[in-house]
Amino acid sequence: MPLRHSGQTTAPSLTASRANEPSALSLAWLFPKTDGPTLQLPTARDSELFIGREDDCGCVLPGQDVSRKHAVLRAEGPHSVLVDLGSRNGTWVNGERIKALVLGEGDVLRVGGWVGVVSKTLGALGALAPGLYGGHALREAVGAAERAAQSDLPIVLEGETGTGKEAVSRAIHEWSGRSGPFVAVNCAALPQALAEGELFGYRRGAFTGAEQASAGYFRAAQHGTLLLDEVCELPLSLQAKLLRVIEQREVQPLGEVKPVKLDVRVLAAAQEPLAQAVAQARFRADLFARLDGLSVRLPPLRERRAEIPYLFTRLLVEGSGARPPTPEVRLVERLCLYDWPFNVRELGLLVKRLLVLHGAEPKLLLRHLPERFRAEPAEAASPPTAPVAGQLPDLEALLEALRASSGNVARAAQALGISRQRAYRMMQGRADVDLDALREPGSDA
């Protein structure tokens, strides 16, 4: 049986790009209930699993907008093929109506009023620590940090803007059991001329304008935890003084003669790997060596699709103060397909916008989303300009751009004139594209 989308778009290219994917995939139905049915995709020869509202279906999805036997999952070689069974409302994968399609990791399915996500690993969704919520992907990322929290092992948190580096830092502080406060400082926001005094403190009259003494961020975090966010933005001269403070466990405020002993757990955070900043001579190698006890990479939200409906629903409930409006299924589907360049922070701001503008309405509709969210997936993935008129870049061109940008997908996509979402789709299912290796200094992966 040929694998096709319901329109003119054929699926052989998708099938080919997924030839190397592991077959151990699961499908979790995450909306309208975040704890909806979960099933293993069939891979055994001749096995199949029906999806529909009838009780004899292997996966029962209640609702009149779901046909009695809506679709079927069939094993084809090592892969699972989703086949629509002539359903009234159609079977949708990644925003497109399909007749038959090989499923791969990260695919978003819509059947009637249900949205599901295909994933290799699924786990319970909930609170990992006070103020930190997610599922398996986030739990796996921060697991080592939780185990190291009660030690004095230095921890570096790496992740794109909005991935929750401060929330994870607060969780590490909670797990540590330290008696002092949690203090966070954005190093990029420190005025260069005043940064030393802001960090290490100063005596009254130590410099012009020092009308009152200041303890500084380090002493403010005594017996607690200090997060140095955007640590790469500190001037190199100040990095040398920071290294001494961390090594000697004491700080000498400006204008003071004697140093002050410190008992502070220092966490560092950056949007890029510190090793990359070292390779570019923007971060001291000796300071990196002192901080790099454990590096934790926080996955961006686009790599956590299975967590998006849960996070969205939770934020709606927390932000409404009452019974929130009910989101329609197409809105949730679109959230799962969106690229989320600003990650969880962007999701939180979207929820606030929806509640302010439409919180009194019974339903949140797709048209209530900002325009960038409402763009069709194919439209969102189209490049604003092509490097050669009428011609789109191929995977080889993307690989060259990724090497040139040290694995930074956003910069590589910009260089090729395509969207970051399109770049990720081009890489989907390619075992020979190793972004982590590309981000290592001197790598030729």
Question: With DSSP H G I counted as helix, E B as strand and the rest as coil, what are the percentages for the chain, rounded to 5?
Answer: 35, 20, 45
pLDDT tens-digit readout, 239-287: 999 999 999 999 887 777 788 899 999 999 999 999 999 999 999 999 9
Mean pLDDT, residues 147-171 taken together: 95
pLDDT value, residue 380:
44
The runs of H, that is alpha helices, within 221-338 are: 236-248, 274-279, 285-291, 308-320, 329-337
Q: What was the pLDDT predicted at 392?
A: 53
Q: Are 361 and 324 in contact (CB under 8 A)?
A: no
What's the mean pLDDT when you consider all of the chain?
84
Please tell me the distance from the alpha carbon of residue 429 to that of residue 413, in angstroms, as a whole number. 18
Calpha distance 347→334 (Å, rounded) = 12
**Minimum mean pLDDT among 3-7, 286-290, 377-381: which range?**
3-7
Model confidence pLDDT, tens digit, residues 43-82: 877 789 999 999 999 999 999 999 999 999 999 888 899 9
Average pLDDT over residues 347-359: 96
Residue 1 is predicted with a pLDDT of 38
Q: 163-193 b/e with 16+ CB inside 10 Å = b?
A: bbbbbbbbbbbbbbebebebbbbebeebeee
Evaluated on CA atoms 124, 128, 130, 131, the torsion sign reads negative
Percentage of the chain modeled with pLDDT above 70: 84
Model confidence at 411, pLDDT cuts 50, 70, 90, reads: confident
Higher pLDDT, 115 or 431: 115
pLDDT of residue 385: 36
Residue type, 94: N
Residue 436: which pLDDT band, with cuts at 50, 70 and 90? low
The pTM score is: 0.77
Secondary structure (3-state) at 437 = helix
On whether the CB atoms of residues 109 and 27 are closer than 8 A, the answer is yes
Compute CA 182 distance to the chain's CA centroid, rounded to the nearest angstrom.
24
Residue 378 has pLDDT above 60, yes or no: no
